[in-house]
Amino acid sequence: MGLGFLAVLMFGRIAFAQPVVPSEFYIVAEGVSDEAYPDGSLPPAREILDVRPEGEGSHIVYIRISPVGLLCGKTISVMAREAHLSGISPSRLLSPGGFCAVTQRAIDRALKGNLPEGRFGIVAKCQGEERILSIGNPDSRTMSTLHRRAPGILSLAELESVVLRAAFSDLEPFKSVSTAEAWNARRAGDSWVPELRSGKYDRGLAPRCLRTGNSCVPGTFAEVLKDYAGPAPDAPALLSPGRGRFEVYDDPFFPPLARAMRIQGHVTLRLQLDASSGDVKSAAVVLGHPVFTPSALEAAKKWRVNQSPGQPMPETLDVVIDYSLRCP
């Protein structure tokens, strides 16, 4: 999904002798998922792009929070990737757009209240004071208008895409990842959940307003993640043998395509074992739907079998994995 982080535009020219440039910043984007619920509604999705100094460059963290397993309705996925931008500091990324010279009033005046769907906030410190600039995700017509009104002052609007391209060579870092890469991203995302719940990024969220009346309260990631159940709430189940047969066992990842198409089934693998260590030397598919077999084979590479007391390590071992859609 591309929420298309679009950073804030300066409306008009601002002159100053010594520009103040933040040393770090983060962006929180709020939009909708590409996948619809069974009733046709689009669930919300959030993305965080955190840019901090690291040596002479920048450390980039990209986090995506979105629904997964829409059959369950409320299951949440958190995915994360990190990268290092060598020789490019956060202040260098921000400086062309004059972040600290932009005001929220100028943004609102430039858009003239014509805010498209979706929203994001950029949070950074200017002279020790935290500054938040928020904007909708402008459509092409809005961008064209701003181009005419403020030609050449679009570096902040392009900030997100510049960072993502430089750090991950892709505007949608999770769109074309393999099953194994997606699983690793979910485990990485799980490690960021305590920090998300701590309130560290809450300032970038839009207020949460009640449907009746004008009452609004600050948005929090603790609320966003209230239904989060871990990196693999719907991990395929090991049917045979039991987990106790393994010294090392990593869950396979449920393929997103299979989940979206509501495909379920069993996979049987035949493992070739190392006689001394119990490591899996190779694995072959005995039975299983082809949508599941790459996930099972990738996971099997990491397994290690326990040796039964008084028994030699078997040369082969058959394993049965159940890929069923379950809710946490």
Burial of 35 (0-12, 13-18, 19+ CB in 10 A): middle
The domain segmentation of the chain, as residue ranges, is 1-228, 237-323
pTM listed for this prediction: 0.70
- What's the confidence (pLDDT) of residue 21? 76
Cis status, amide bond into 53, omega within 30 of 0: no
Asked if residue 151 has pLDDT above 90, the reply is no
SS3 of the chain: helix, strand, coil, percent, to 5 = 25, 30, 45
Helix (H, G, I), strand (E, B) or coil at 157: coil
Asked if residue 156 has pLDDT above 80, the reply is no
The token pair that represents 143 in the structure block = 């961008």
- At residue 240, φ and ψ (nearest 5 deg) are -155, 135
Query: In terms of Cα–Cα distance, which of 58, 134, 114, 45 is closest to 91?
Result: 58
pLDDT tens by residue, 218-263: 889 999 998 888 886 567 889 999 888 999 998 888 887 887 788 9
Asked if residue 139 has pLDDT above 70, the reply is no
pLDDT tens by residue, 47-81: 999 999 999 999 999 999 987 655 555 678 899 99
Query: Greater confidence, 4 or 33?
Result: 33
Burial of 97 (0-12, 13-18, 19+ CB in 10 A): buried
The token pair that represents 53 in the structure block = 């100094």
Dihedral-angle region of residue 299 (phi above 0 means left; psi in -120 to 50 means alpha; beta otherwise): alpha
| CATH superfamily, region 237-323 | TonB (3.30.2420.10)
Stretch 130-149: mean pLDDT? 70
Question: Residues 293, 320: contact at Cβ < 8 Å?
Answer: no
